[in-house]
Amino acid sequence: MENLFGLMDDLGPTKILHISLCQAGLKAIVVVDNTACGPAIGGVRIAPDVTAEEACRLARAMTLKNAAAGLPHGGGKSAIVADPRMPPGDKEHLIRAFARAIADLNEYIPGPDMGTDELAMGWVHDEIGRAVGLPREVGGIPLDELGATGFGLAAAVDVGAKAIGLDLKSAKVAVQGFGAVGKHAARFLAQKGCVLVAASDSRGTVSCSAGLDIAGLIALKEAGRSLTDFPHGTKAGTDAIIDVPCDIWIPAARPDVLRKDNAGRLKAKIVAEGANIPCTTEAEAILEARGVLILPDFVVNAGGVICAATEFHGGIETTAFLYIEEKIRRNTALLINKARGEGISMREAAMGLATERIWNAQRTRRWK
Ligand code: NAD
């Protein structure tokens, strides 16, 4: 069989579903990558430019993330090709149509991602009885509202900082993308003493070397405005976030934002990958060669999915945050030791950890 996008291998994808429903105005792709550890959990992304290739890569990231986190779940992803800023009524219509189209795909459990939220997962659950990241009122642990992923990122940064001798008190942080992941990462890192010196969204960057008011920035975003409307700080284009001098750089927006052509501009000591696949392989190699500590996406941004899995299995908020802290701290330390001990990159160490767990799970499965 054709090696789809060069991404088909022994792990998956198991299934790729293309959905095109003209009457509902729905175009979507669902990828179930691997189910060795259990039914696949993965977010529903809405973006006008999202592709099947991106969905396959993100589904694989979920397989690795769920396995690395030691969850009884495989990895999947869905992509709805649309503008996430459509009117709320249209969005509900579209998401309900999407949910009905995947009703029989029982090995896939949808969750929130860029362009979707807890309310959207409430609609999916209402249609098909299967979704994670639900609103509190219908039994969910609202992971984006609580900042589960940002909380896990801050825990990983804490472990990473200790490993490289960086004191988090007054450490400078720059965050690309100030949504569910980015804003909470900034907030939890500030609780550890860090200072947010820059943040960006799709419209631009705001920076101030003395520190930005995180609560003020969050309030602005929650009012539906851009960070560039903030009354303080220096304003620049979206790309300017890469050039800001800082200790910790957190990509929390789109894939492939650091590449061979721009990685050399980054001035941080730690890159904590909040977004999925934010750095190309070349970019990570360039940065590691300069001594930058890479905290790989699927290990350190697993807070959301750990929270979602806890919810799915009937746990509560307190348990979820304990799991996130324990799992992410332990895995980050494991990776750093493995990478240093074996002289390999942090990503190679992370891949080793995840694939070993997937193949161990595979051995427990029927093959016919
Ligand atoms: P979100 O939609 O809440 O926020 C995205 C933010 O990125 C917004 O502030 C948006 O303005 C900004 N943005 C978009 N394009 C940008 C650009 N070119 N430059 C700078 N900013 C830009 O999304 P989110 O839930 O915070 O997810 C962000 C990333 O993290 C995605 O890659 C997602 O897959 C990943 N992720 C999310 C979670 C989660 O729990 N939400 C968990 C793991 C990984």
| pLDDT surpasses 90 at 56 | yes
- Output b/e per residue, 39-51; b: 16+ Cβ within 10 A: bbbbbbbbbeebe
The residue whose CA is least distant from atom 1 of ligand 1 is: 179
pLDDT band at 8 (very low <50, low <70, confident <90, very high): confident
* Cβ of residue 301 lying under 6 Å from some atom of ligand 1: yes
- Residue 132 CA from chain centroid, whole number: 15
* 66-86 confidence digits (pLDDT tens): 999 999 999 999 999 999 999
Residue owning tokens 């990473």? 160
β-sheet with 15-21: strand ranges across: 15-21, 26-34, 74-81, 40-47, 108-112
* Cβ of residue 144 lying under 6 Å from some atom of ligand 1: yes
User: Of all atoms in ligand 1, which is nearest to the CA of residue 257?
Assistant: 18
Distance, CA 2 to ligand 1 centroid (Å)?
32
Distance, CA 115 to ligand 1 centroid (Å)?
9
Question: Which pLDDT value is given to residue 301?
Answer: 96
User: Of all atoms in ligand 1, which is nearest to the CA of residue 254?
Assistant: 32
* 104-159 confidence digits (pLDDT tens): 999 999 998 889 998 999 999 999 999 999 999 999 998 888 999 999 999 999 99
Question: Which pLDDT value is given to residue 3?
Answer: 64
Write the DSSP string, 156-181: HHHHHHHHHT---TT-EEEEE--SHH
Q: Which of 16, 22, 20, 21 is nearest to 42 (CA)?
A: 16
Write down the pTM of the prediction.
0.89
pLDDT band at 7 (very low <50, low <70, confident <90, very high): confident
Dihedral sign (CA 194, 195, 201, 204): negative
Question: Which pLDDT value is given to residue 276?
Answer: 85
* 16-51 confidence digits (pLDDT tens): 999 999 999 999 999 999 999 999 999 999 999 999
* 212-248 confidence digits (pLDDT tens): 999 999 999 999 999 999 999 999 999 999 999 999 9
Distance in angstroms (rounded) separating the CA atoms of residues 30 and 77: 6
Q: Which of 103, 47, 120 is nearest to 79 (CA)?
A: 47
* Cβ of residue 149 lying under 6 Å from some atom of ligand 1: yes
β-sheet with 204-207: strand ranges across: 234-236, 204-207, 195-201, 172-176, 248-251, 270-272, 293-295
Mutate to test the pocket of ligand 1, among 64, 200, 201, 239 (most ligand atoms within 8 A of CB): 201
What are the E-state strand segments in 227-358? 234-236, 248-251, 270-272, 293-295
> What is the identity of the amino acid at 87?
P
Distance, CA 116 to ligand 1 centroid (Å)?
11
Catalytic residue among 15, 27, 65, 77: 77
Distance in angstroms (rounded) separating the CA atoms of residues 302 and 308: 10
Q: Provide the mean pLDDT of the chain.
A: 95
* Cβ of residue 179 lying under 6 Å from some atom of ligand 1: yes
* Cβ of residue 114 lying under 6 Å from some atom of ligand 1: yes
Name all domains of the chain by residue range, CATH numbers in brackets.
5-60+75-140 (3.40.50.10860), 148-303+331-353 (3.40.50.720)
* Cβ of residue 143 lying under 6 Å from some atom of ligand 1: yes
Distance, CA 252 to ligand 1 centroid (Å)?
5
Distance, CA 112 to ligand 1 centroid (Å)?
11
* 338-356 confidence digits (pLDDT tens): 999 999 999 999 999 999 9
Contact of 155 with 161, CB cutoff 8 Å: no
Give mean pLDDT, residues 164-188.
97
Give mean pLDDT, residues 180-184.
96
| pLDDT surpasses 90 at 365 | no
Question: Which pLDDT value is given to residue 5?
Answer: 66
- 172 noted as active-site residue: no
Contact of 253 with 182, CB cutoff 8 Å: yes
Distance, CA 275 to ligand 1 centroid (Å)?
6
